[in-house]
Amino acid sequence: MSEQRTPFYITTPIYYVNDVPHIGHAYTTIAADVLARHHRMLGDPTTFLTGTDEHGQKIQQAAAAKGLTALQLADQTVENFRRLWKVLNITNDDFIRTTEPRHEKVVQHIFSTLLEKGDIYLGSYEGWYCVPCETYVPEAQMGEGNTCPDCGRPLQKMTEQSYFFRMSKYEQPLLDYYEGLPEAILPRTRANEILSFLRGGLKDQSISRTTMKWGVPVPGDEQHVVYVWFDALINYLSALGYPEAGKPWETFWPVAHHLVGKDIIRFHSVVWPALLLALGLQPPKRVFAHGWWTVEGDKMSKSKGNVVDPFEMAERYGVDVFRYFLLREVPFGLDGDFSELALVQRSNADLANDLGNLLNRTLQMVEKYCGGQVPSAVHPEALDRELEILAGRTAEEMDRLLERFAFDEALKALWAFLGRSNKYIDENLPWNLAKEGNQERLDTVLRTLFEALRQAALLSAPFLPETAQRMWDQLGLPGTPEGTGRSPWSFGPLPQPVQVRKAGVLFPRVDLEQWKVE
Ligand code: ME8
């Protein structure tokens, strides 16, 4: 592919290290991984960043409760995230920790720059503070008995000297910026929420703390540490080597896509873009806020003991089944409910039946009727051409849908193609062709199915990387589907003789009767 491709930068939130990773973290990171793999296959220069948010009161308190220093706690829990991303086949190019010097020095640089510019100033702050959530809660939003509207815990009245970011100055510039950029915040409902929030007016933000010590020191005034959110957001730039000349941020900042949960959309589409405007940089190209997972209808929480462990899910059902379920079950952007029964049902119907059987039936026939050698000569008829055209159209449609992060719809398009391919077998009845001795027609049908499966492996690879590779190997194709990449679809002649290598089934069916008993 000689055409110039557009670079792509995708990020996840950096996760707090006071807790173990759960399906919520897995969800965002898997979605980002699918996009990164997809863009790499298209040949786009891609950078995929994840990491951990290690400063702040919450971490300090969690560490104290365990008799550890904050850094000791971070050093321990960061490994859970790294290990999970390995298990889930996450292909992040970088992993940033906010305690790394490469990050801290950029936070300080940005702080000093904005202080000098007058966009940061020293003031004092009095308010009701929620320690676990690390936010001041406006009086109008306080719950009964001065409690936090988010976590319900009692608020503390605090007064402190604080540095402020002059966010009010960026209210109109942000409204102007978002005007005419309908895809900068997605889904659309979230964009509307943000726009009406902006129209309600922006207040300057307190961005330093004197009440605790676990954070990046404010340069020149070490009584203060930088507020954890101000520190955390900067990771998206510090990881790219900002502000040094010749570093990746120059290429990748203009194509930054932030995937976040809906809980932190305001930080990403108001505070962060205002900060970027203050620095003379453009806001992220897109912030996508996905929905919230509940479990069997309930909010996930440690006290309820219903937190879904992604390690366990991957171990029990397979990594690809877990990846597939999360992205197929719920339209990206809406809330979803996790249930193992729904996962098993989807795995049986979509993966074992539709995909697994298509491969199995095809390879069996290639073995039985062609000695395992994929037929090279074809004499296509209308039905064959139709499937060939659909293979190309499915790729185009998936690309279009993934452009706006519609994972579930992209998978539906792929499954419509698999359904059509399965139906093609029933329409052509290859076993009858064999009986009739119509080898020419049989060859064409089996070759068409082989090509459909080759395309299915390429298109499913970002979602189901292990499965796509197993399909690729069984189809007898050299290398890897992801290494092969996505050149414009063509049926083409076989470059060399291909011998299929049928192996075990792709997805074992889970027996629902037995499963229920467990
Ligand atoms: O907020 N459903 O970190 P965090 C869906 N450190 N997604 C969920 C989820 C759920 N039930 N629970 C968590 C922070 N997530 C900050 C971010 S970024 C500069 C700083 C996912 O560990 C979702 O992506 O609390 C959410 O935004 C993120 O985890 C919050 O992770």
Q: Check pLDDT > 50 for residue 458.
A: yes
Q: Do 354 and 418 contact (CB within 8 A), yes or no?
A: yes
Q: Residue 269: left (phi > 0), alpha (psi -120 to 50), or beta?
A: alpha
Residue-level pLDDT at 260: 98
Closest ligand 1 atom number to CA of residue 262: 27
Q: Check pLDDT > 50 for residue 376.
A: yes
How confident is the model over 18-34, as a mean pLDDT?
A: 96
- 260-278: pLDDT as tens digits: 999 999 999 999 999 999 9
- Residues in the annotated binding site for Zn(2+): 130, 133, 148, 151
Q: Around Cβ 157, how many Cβ atoms within 10 Å?
A: 9
- For the question of whether the overall pTM of this predicted structure is more than 0.90, the answer is yes
Residue 238 CA to chain centroid, in angstroms? Answer: 20
How confident is the model over 294-315, as a mean pLDDT?
A: 90
**Residue 80, H or E segment:** helix 70-87
How confident is the model over 247-255, as a mean pLDDT?
A: 98
Residue-level pLDDT at 346: 97
Residue-level pLDDT at 419: 98
| Closest-CA residue to 19 (of 78, 71, 69) | 78
Q: Is 513 helix (H, G, I), strand (E, B) or coil?
A: helix
Q: Flag whether the ipTM exceeds 0.95.
A: yes
Q: Check pLDDT > 80 for residue 135.
A: no
Q: Do 319 and 89 contact (CB within 8 A), yes or no?
A: yes
Residue-level pLDDT at 414: 98
Q: Can you state the angle between helices 382-403 and 439-460, rounded to 10 degrees?
A: 0
Q: Do 253 and 237 contact (CB within 8 A), yes or no?
A: yes
Residue-level pLDDT at 399: 98
CA–centroid distance, 270 to ligand 1, in Å, is: 17
Write down the residue that tokens 């190019």 correspond to.
93
Contacts of residue 475, defined as CB under 8 A and 6 or more positions apart, other chains included, come to 363, 374, 450, 453, 454, 457, 498, 500
- 408-418: pLDDT as tens digits: 999 999 999 99
Q: Around Cβ 279, how many Cβ atoms within 10 Å?
A: 17
The residues that bridge with 122 in the sheet, in sequence order, are 163
Residue-level pLDDT at 516: 63
Ligand 1 neighbours (beta carbon < 6 A)? 13-16, 24-25, 27-28, 53, 232-233, 260-261, 263-264, 292-293, 300
How confident is the model over 276-285, as a mean pLDDT?
A: 98
Q: Check pLDDT > 70 for residue 77.
A: yes
Instruction: Work out the end-to-end distance of the chain between its first and last CA atoms, rounded to an integer number of angstroms.
Output: 52
Residue 298 per-residue DSSP state: B
Residue-level pLDDT at 361: 97
Q: Across the chain, which distance is largest between two alpha carbons, in Å?
A: 89
| Closest-CA residue to 230 (of 160, 292, 167) | 167
What is the arrangement of strands in the sheet containing 205-206, beginning at the earlier edge strand? 135-137, 120-130, 156-165, 205-206
CA–centroid distance, 23 to ligand 1, in Å, is: 10
- 91-131: pLDDT as tens digits: 999 999 999 999 999 999 999 999 999 999 999 988 898 88
- What is the number of H-type helices and E-type strands within the chain? 22, 14
Residue-level pLDDT at 413: 98
Q: Which of 16, 59, 110 is the pocket-test mutation for ligand 1 (most atoms within 8 Å of CB)?
A: 16
Write down the residue that tokens 């706690």 correspond to.
73
Q: Can you state the angle between helices 23-41 and 319-329, rounded to 10 degrees?
A: 90
CA dihedral sign, ordered 34, 35, 41, 47: negative
How confident is the model over 149-156, as a mean pLDDT?
A: 91
Picking from 73-77, 135-139, 195-199, which range would have the lowest pLDDT averaged per residue? 135-139
Mean pLDDT of the chain: 95
| Closest-CA residue to 485 (of 466, 460, 454, 458) | 458
Picking from 325-339, 437-451, 501-515, which range would have the lowest pLDDT averaged per residue? 501-515
CA dist 485 and 465 (Å) reads 13
Q: Check pLDDT > 80 for residue 493.
A: no
Q: What proportion of the chain, given as a percentage, has pLDDT over 90?
A: 85
Q: Which of 263, 265, 330 is the pocket-test mutation for ligand 1 (most atoms within 8 Å of CB)?
A: 263
pLDDT band at 441 (very low <50, low <70, confident <90, very high): very high
Q: Do 248 and 276 contact (CB within 8 A), yes or no?
A: no
CA dist 518 and 515 (Å) reads 5
Give the ranges where 202-318 is alpha helix by DSSP (H). 228-233, 235-238, 249-252, 265-266, 272-278, 310-317
How confident is the model over 164-168, as a mean pLDDT?
A: 98
Q: What proportion of the chain, given as a percentage, has pLDDT over 70?
A: 99
| Closest-CA residue to 205 (of 168, 151, 164, 159) | 164
Q: Which of 10, 12, 14, 15 is the pocket-test mutation for ligand 1 (most atoms within 8 Å of CB)?
A: 15
Q: Which residue's CA lies nearest to atom 29 of ligand 1?
A: 25
Write down the residue that tokens 């292909």 correspond to.
91
Q: Check pLDDT > 90 for residue 297.
A: no
Q: Which two tokens stand for residue 307?
A: 């937190």
Q: Check pLDDT > 50 for residue 1.
A: no
Q: Do 458 and 41 contact (CB within 8 A), yes or no?
A: yes
